[in-house]
Amino acid sequence: MTDAYGKVLVLGADGFIGRHLAFGLRDAGWDVLASARHPERLARMGFNTLKADLTSAEAQTQDYWSRKLEDVTHVVNAAGVLHASDATYKAVHVDAPNALYAAMKTTRGILISAVGIDEADTAFARYRRGGEQAAEAHGITILRAGLVLADTSYGGSSLARSLAALPFVTPVVGNGTQTFNPVHASDLSLAVDHMLRTPPGPERHEIGGPETVTQRDMIAAMRRWLGLRPTLILPLPMALARMIGRLGDAMQWGPISATSVAQLNSGVVAQPDAAIANMPDTPRGFSQFLFARPAGTQDLWHARLYLFRPLVRVVLGVLWLASGILGLILPSESFLPLVQNATLPDGLLIALARLGGLVDLAIAAALFRGWRPKLVACLQAAMVLSYTVAFTALAPVLWLLPLGGLLKNLPILALIAIMAILEDER
State mean pLDDT over 17-39. Answer: 96
Can you give the residue range of the structural domain that contains 74?
1-145
pLDDT in tens, 163-210: 999 999 999 999 999 999 999 999 999 999 999 999 887 789 999 999
How many Å apart are CA 282 and CA 276, to the nearest integer?
A: 7
In a domain, 136, yes or no: yes
Average pLDDT taken over every residue of the chain: 90
How many Å apart are CA 209 and CA 107, to the nearest integer?
A: 29
In a domain, 411, yes or no: yes
Least confident of 88-92, 123-127, 364-368: 123-127
pLDDT in tens, 246-276: 888 888 877 787 777 877 888 899 999 888 8
* Structural domain count, the chain: 2
pLDDT band at 2 (very low <50, low <70, confident <90, very high): very low
Q: Classify the C-alpha dihedral 298-303-307-308 as positive or negative.
A: negative
- Domain end position, chosen among 145, 175, 191: 145
Check residues 186 and 373 and name the one with the higher pLDDT: 186
pLDDT of the residue at 39: 95
First to last CA, the chain: 26
pLDDT of the residue at 342: 59
Backbone angles phi, psi at 14, to 5 degrees: -95, 5
pLDDT of the residue at 193: 96
What SS3 state is found at 98? helix
Check residues 224 and 346 and name the one with the higher pLDDT: 224
pLDDT of the residue at 277: 85
Backbone angles phi, psi at 231, to 5 degrees: -130, 170
pLDDT in tens, 340-359: 665 666 676 678 778 888 99
In a domain, 215, yes or no: no
334, pLDDT greater than 70: no
pLDDT of the residue at 121: 80
In a domain, 242, yes or no: no
Complete DSSP assignment for 310-357: HHHHHHHHHHHHHHHHHHHHS-HHHHGGGGTT-SS-HHHHHHHHHHHH
**Most confidently predicted of 97-106, 245-254, 291-300:** 291-300
In a domain, 300, yes or no: no
pLDDT in tens, 61-87: 999 999 999 889 999 999 998 888 999
pLDDT of the residue at 405: 80
Nearest to 148 by CA among 119, 103, 191, 204: 191
**Global confidence as pTM:** 0.89
Check residues 402 and 304 and name the one with the higher pLDDT: 304
pLDDT band at 1 (very low <50, low <70, confident <90, very high): very low
Instruction: Give the CB-side neighbour count of residue 328, counting CA atoms within 13 A.
Output: 12
- Domain end position, chosen among 145, 180, 197: 145
382, pLDDT greater than 80: yes
- Domain end position, chosen among 96, 127, 145: 145
In a domain, 62, yes or no: yes
Asked if 372 contacts 358 with a C-beta cutoff of 8 angstroms, the reply is: no
In a domain, 175, yes or no: no
How many Å apart are CA 95 and CA 29, to the nearest integer?
A: 30
State mean pLDDT over 220-246. Answer: 93
Cβ neighbours of residue 127 under 8 Å, at least 6 residues apart? 86, 89, 90, 92, 93, 94
Nearest to 183 by CA among 154, 145, 157: 145
In a domain, 299, yes or no: no
Q: Classify the C-alpha dihedral 315-317-323-328 as positive or negative.
A: negative
pLDDT of the residue at 8: 96
pLDDT of the residue at 414: 97
R_g of the chain, CA atoms, integer Å = 25
Asked if 7 contacts 50 with a C-beta cutoff of 8 angstroms, the reply is: no
